[in-house]
Structure 1
Amino acid sequence: MSGADGCKGQTVARRGFRVDGAGSVTQDTARETRTDRRGAVAAALMLAMALAALDSTVVSTAVPQIVGDLGGFSYFSWLFSGYLLAVTVTLPVYGKLSDTFGRKPVLVVGAVLFLLGSLLCALAWNMAALIAFRVVQGLGGGALQGTVQTLAADLYPLEQRPRIQARLSTVWAVSAVAGPGIGGLLASYADWRWIFLVNLPVGAVALWLIVRHLHEHRGEARPRPRVDWAGAFTVFACGGALLTALVQGGVAWDWLSAPSLALLGTGLALLGAAVVVERRAAQPIIPGWVWRRRTIAAVNLALGALGLVMVAPAVFLPTYAQTVLGLAPVAAGFVLSVWTLTWPVSAALSQHVYRRIGFRNTAMLGIGTAALILFAFPLLPYPGRAWQPTLLMLLLGAALGLFQLPLIVGVQATVGWEERGTATASILFCRQTGQTVGAALFGAVANGVLAARLGDAGDLDAVTGALDGGAVPEATRRAVADAVHTGLPGRGLRGDP
């Protein structure tokens, strides 16, 4: 798919957008939109994106205070996985609904659900209630994440989309990285319930801007839409079962335990049911064309692979930085997070590249560079210096920014209004699923390598102390550092000493 092909692939949407009477806004007429009004809608999209990203990480540093207040330590991991699972499995459902009923209703409903979930989280009386309300938050967060990126493509022409998508990427990255710090400050100096209460005024502003400034209108009379509710249920249930098995396997229970096998079996059975239901539906939630069209299918697979690759540094690098490099947890977190500095910059500049060489070649350049950088991680010296993995993460962020954005913009350019929500949700769902699979895969690899290499490191308490920087014998600490260094992606698989 070249740049020229992407432009030719644009079709004029049968349903457009207008911003306070400023004129119809479609792919081809977005430049006629009054800048201040479109800016107000863009601000609302960024606020919504910030909330969805912030709440994926903000709880992490407040866990001690939450557990101390509500109890339920053995279930606290569901505070994260419950939210992320709800976001992931609802993405394809909201994508189809936004194509059927319009972006605004879906975004408004999602914002209301998210704010309701935030309020209920702040009022939670025990851990089970808090987890349930986090799922409610995630049900709204799925609508925010998918619809925001679809709306950005609706409101901006092709040549301007890299800038708005790069801004959204920046907002997402900054919010996700800032989440733990904000959560820790609120939990330490106020109360953990404020982590959720602060969402209310910010979300209310975003909701007001959308309701006030975004207006959809129909270009022609259309029959009453039919919703594939059976397909929505089977997709939701199938995704929930399979992703829960992947997220909790090896954590809450063993991979071959009864709960894990039951979830996997149920998920596979529901997957078969979903295929049957979707093939028979007149308007399926996941239409077959998202896999029959080669361009979209290729991007689905590519972003699924991207999601998987993104997890590898997150799994290995913090432990490597603390045990091998001897960095404090805050410094180790900085080493990991620096790729959020170069990712959005590279994404914003990618338009200058794909206009010359096309979407596909730009993405190939990005993923090829990223592969070379990932192969450099096993070559990090021992013990090494902190600037070395930091530099690699900066370069990796730049490469992945060059890879992801051209694919998203390219897919959105090849579909019309009535397919864009489904197409966007499809590629985002694949990326999220790739991250889930990657977390399970690389987590299992890391645990396996460490378990195989730590025979001389002492008992579990000593190992835990070494990982946390506690006072342990030097021989134990060195054994742990050697095991972690050996366990870097690629090095452990090669069997290097």
Structure 2
Amino acid sequence: MKNVSSKARAAALTEEQAAQDFEQPLYSRRDILLTMVAVLLVMLLASLDQTIVSTALPRVVAELQGFDRYSWVSTVYLLTSTVMVPIYGKLSDLFGRKPIFLFGVVIFLIGSALSGAAQTMNQLIAFRAFQGIGAGALMPIAIAVIGDLFTPRERGKWQGLTGAVWGLSAIIGPTAGGWITQNSSWRWIFYVNVPIGIIALIFLIFLMPMLRSKNKKVSIDYIGAALLVLGTVPLLLGFTEAGTQYAWLSPQIIGLFAFSLVVLTSFIIYEARLERRNGQPIIEPGLFKNSIFSVSTIVTIIFGMGLFGSIFFIPLFVQGVVGTNATDSGLLLTPLMLTSIVGSVGSGQLVSRLGKYKWLAILGMVISVLGALLLVRLNIHSTNNDVLWGMIVLGMGMGLGMALYTLIVQNALPQKIGQATSALVFFRQIGGTIGLAVMGSIMSSAYLPAFNNALPAIVKQTVPAKFLAVFNNPEILLKPDAQAQMQAQAARGGPQGLATFNMIIGAVKEGLAQGIHNVFLLSLGLMIAGLIAVLFLKEIELRGGRRQPQTVEGEQDAMSESPESNEHLVGMV
């Protein structure tokens, strides 16, 4: 036992020493500010694209006549962008951030222009896949660039701001998408990326420092990249299609999961072998030997599963159960996004000032648990105010925690910022996809039994089963026009016909409320699991403090004159 505990202490000391010994590169105030303008523009580009496109999709599908492939416009983008994230992260560690970042932005802009010019649904799907290949570089490399420019304590402020960019895009994106679609062609939801992207490109090309890697040995892991793509794509496809297109236990879904399991197992074995031979694997299995990275990854996956699932079902509850008319369901999430912005900026300021992160991570999870608990308490009698309080609390917890784990991992692995950051983004997206699929199936499976139980016996006896089968899913609650038409037909049967219809609609609401309640219950369980996991997070004090920016020449002079002055060189408060 003593031997084991001494090894654990030695490993912990090694982790802390590696983080503290890393020397942060120094850049001038001009380089920092102009690079950050470009980084924030790219992040806005990536986040706005997703929210704008989702709003305009119905119009796009109607014009290109491809309703049967509706979901693929988003699915294929998710697939290609997700699988490319860890590949770009590793390449940026090997070749530097700038060339990989530029490549990603260029591919994204070309894909945007092609998507806007698409003439058929199949073309749009293909171009969205191409756009996703570029999108996979935008967010992880942008976050990694922040890690290169600032010490961990300074980094907190900027990463809080990046979280605010995501929240802002979630608020303005749906509105902008609706306005563009209504007042212009839907094609401009893609074309609008081009001018913003070109401005960002100009900043990146001429003003961004190279941020080169010190690694002299460069070898690309082509086999690992191929195995990662071949394993991840069927995994995401399986979770995306399960419970919607195919049953969970159908041969198609089982086949996808089985193939993914075999390939991903091969990927892990190959990457471990490559690491032992001092190669350059896409995702080094050795990263998980670092306890901070392991715990942060677990919490990120759990957080992604619980959070993204909850957010997806809140608009459904408000429109279907509460009965709020909302032409744009994205606007319903505005309170959650606003508090997430406050939480994100606030946590960045606090972690920068105090240099400690564990208490903030715990606080974020505690608040998220409270938010999930408020959502669990919602029922068929809940009002908009009840939902509002749940969103406000959950948004605050989300803001406190989302950007924090990236900072924690970068502080623990300063020489592998690109790989560690991209791995965290990758696992978060995988967790969100899995959580959404599982919660969707839980809601669907709970709806029908709850609907049947809520139907009064007299309705079951007097209304034909064929007519009741129309309500086997709760879509009627989301179609006010169709509901009004059915209500008018029921009114022709007199007061009794109208009363019967209202009882059926009440049962539909009961069924939907129960299904979403089960979803929120799972989300609460995941949040509690995340809270338990974060208690095991080890804390390493964040490196760096308040430093005064200088020119590059000034930095070199100061370094040559006094070693003690290094702490006060280039930075950003």
TM-score normalised over the length of structure 2 = 0.78
1:67–1:326 Cα change, 3 Å: same
The partner residue of 2:90 within 93, 96, 118 is 96
| Counterparts of 2:106 and 2:242, CA distance in 1 | 32
Aligned residues of 1:104 and 1:214 also touching (Cα < 8 A) = yes
CA deviations 1:305-330 (Å, max 9, x no partner) are 11001123223321211132210124
User: Structure 1 315/199 Cα, relative in aligned 2: closer, same or farther at 3 Å?
Assistant: closer
Aligned to 1:264: 257
Compared CA separation, residues 461 and 482, structure 1 to 2 (3 A) = closer
CA distance in 2, matches of 1:309, 1:303: 10
Aligned equivalents of 1:170, 1:217: Cα separation in 2? 25
Measured after TM superposition, the shift of residue 148 of structure 1 is: 0.3
The range that moved more, 348-357 or 90-99, is 348-357
Compare 450-459 and 192-201 and name the one that shifted more.
450-459
| Structure 1 counterpart of 2:267 | 274
Q: Which runs of 4+ in 1 moved over 3 A?
A: 5-8, 10-13, 217-220, 330-335, 351-357, 488-494
C-alpha distance in 1 between matches for 2:432 and 2:221: 27
For residues 280 and 50 of structure 1, what CA distance do their matches in structure 2 show? 39
Q: Secondary structure in 1 aligned to 2:210?
A: strand
Q: Deviations over 1:101-152 (max 9, x none)?
A: 0000110000011011111112212111111110111111110011000101
Number of the residue aligned with 1:397 = 395
Relative to structure 1, is the Cα distance of residues 379 and 69 closer, same or farther in structure 2, using a 3 angstrom cutoff? Answer: closer
Summarize the alignment of residues 227-376 of structure 1 with structure 2, pairs less than 5 Å apart: 227-281=220-274, 282-330=279-327, 333-351=330-348, 353-354=350-351, 356=354, 358-376=356-374
Shift of 1:491: 8.5
For the pair shown, which has the larger CA radius of gyration, 1 or 2?
Answer: 2
- Return the alpha-carbon distance in structure 2 between the equivalents of residues 59 and 316 of structure 1: 19
Q: CA deviation at 1:478?
A: 1.0
Aligned equivalents of 2:398, 2:447: Cα separation in 1 = 29
Report SS of the residue matched to 1:226.
coil
Judge which range, 40-49 or 273-282, deviates more. 273-282
Show the counterpart of 2:470: 460
Counterpart CA distance in 1 for 2:519 and 2:437 is: 19
**Which residue number corresponds to residue 42 of structure 2?**
48
Contact 1:94 1:106 in 2 (8 A): yes
Q: Distance in 2 between matches of 1:74 and 1:277?
A: 39
For the residues of structure 2 that align with 1:482 and 1:175, how far apart are their CA atoms?
A: 33
Partner Cα distance (1:119, 1:491) in 2:
38
Aligned-partner residue type, residue 509 of structure 2: A
CA distance in 2, matches of 1:186, 1:403: 33
Partner of 1:20: none
C-alpha distance in 1, partners of 2:316/2:449? 17
Give how far 1:372 is off.
2.4
Q: How far apart are the structure 1 equivalents of 2:170 and 2:327?
A: 15
1:164 aligned partner, one-letter code: W
Tell me how far apart the structure 2 counterparts of residues 362 and 184 of structure 1 sit (CA, whole Å): 37
SS at the partner of 1:459?
helix
| C-alpha distance in 1 between matches for 2:313 and 2:212 | 50
- 1:70-99 C-alpha deviation (Å, 9 max, x unpaired): 222111201111111211111111110010
SS at match of 1:286: coil
Q: Quick one: distance in 2 between partners of 1:370 and 1:224?
A: 43
CA positional deviation for 1:279: 2.1
Matched, 1:179 2:190: no
Amino acid at match of 1:115: L
Give, as a single letter, the amino acid of the residue that structure 1 aligns with 2:335: V
Q: Does 1:206 align with 2:200?
A: yes
| TM superposition shift of 1:181 | 2.4
Q: TM-score, normalised by structure 1?
A: 0.89
Structure 1 equivalent of residue 210 of structure 2:
216
Listed as ranges, the gaps of 5+ residues in structure 2 are: 1-11, 460-467, 488-500, 523-573
SS at match of 2:517: coil
Distance 1:54 1:429 in 2: 19
Aligned to 1:420: 417
Q: Structure 1 residue 490: deviation in Å?
A: 4.6
Shift of 1:196: 0.9
Shift of 1:347: 2.0
CA distance in 1, matches of 2:111, 2:63: 19
2: CA distance between counterparts of 1:351 and 1:54?
A: 22
Cα deviations by residue, 1:157-188 (Å, 9 ceiling, x for unpaired): 22221221121111122223433322222222
Task: Give the direction of change, closer, same or farther, for the CA distance of 1:206–1:452 in structure 2 (3 Å limit).
Answer: same
Q: Please tell me the residue identity of whatever aligns with 2:391.
A: M
Of residues 62, 70, 75, the one that matches 2:64 is 70
Cα distance change on mapping 1:218 and 1:254 into 2, 3 Å: closer
Query: C-alpha displacement at 1:377, in angstroms?
Result: 1.6
**1:378-397 → structure 2 map (5 Å cutoff):** 378-380=376-378, 382-397=380-395
> Residue in 2 aligned with 1:23?
none
Distance (whole Å) between structure 1 residues aligned to residue 113 and residue 290 of structure 2: 42
My pick for the range that moved more, 111-120 or 370-379, is 370-379
Q: d(CA) in 2 for partners of 1:276 and 1:7?
A: 29
Residue 162 in 1 paired to residue 190 in 2? Answer: no
Mapped partners of 1:153, 1:71: distance in 2: 45
| C-alpha spacing 1:451/1:204, structure 2 compared with 1 (3 Å) | same
1:9 corresponds to which of 16, 19, 23? 19
Q: 1:177-202 deviations in whole A, cap 9, x for unaligned? A: 43332222222221111111111111
Answer whether contact 2:115 2:127 (CA < 8 A) is retained.
Answer: yes
User: What SS is found at the alignment partner of 2:284?
Assistant: coil
| CA separation of 1:219 and 1:297: change in aligned 2, threshold 3 A | closer
**In the alignment, is the contact (CA less than 8 A) between 2:156 and 2:349 conserved in 1?**
no
Give the letter for the 1:65 counterpart.
R
> What residue identity is the alignment partner of 1:241?
P
Q: Is the 8 A contact 2:157 2:349 kept in 1?
A: no
Change (3 A) 1:332 1:211: closer
- Give the equivalent residue in structure 1 for 2:543: none
Which among 222, 226, 245 is matched to residue 219 of structure 2? Answer: 226
> Which is further off, 428-437 or 382-391?
382-391
Structure 1 stretch 452-461 or stretch 194-203: which is displaced more? 452-461
| Distance (Å, rounded) in 2 between the aligned partners of 1:144 and 1:136 | 14
- The code of the aligned residue for 2:399 comes to G
Q: In structure 1, give the amino acid aligned to 2:479.
A: D
Q: Equivalents in 1 of 2:175, 2:17: separation in Å?
A: 42
Instruction: Give the letter aligned to residue 327 of structure 1.
Output: T
Which residue in 2 is equivalent to 1:19? none
Counterpart contact for 1:59–1:79, Cα < 8 Å: no
For residue 429 of structure 1, report the CA deviation from its aligned partner.
1.0
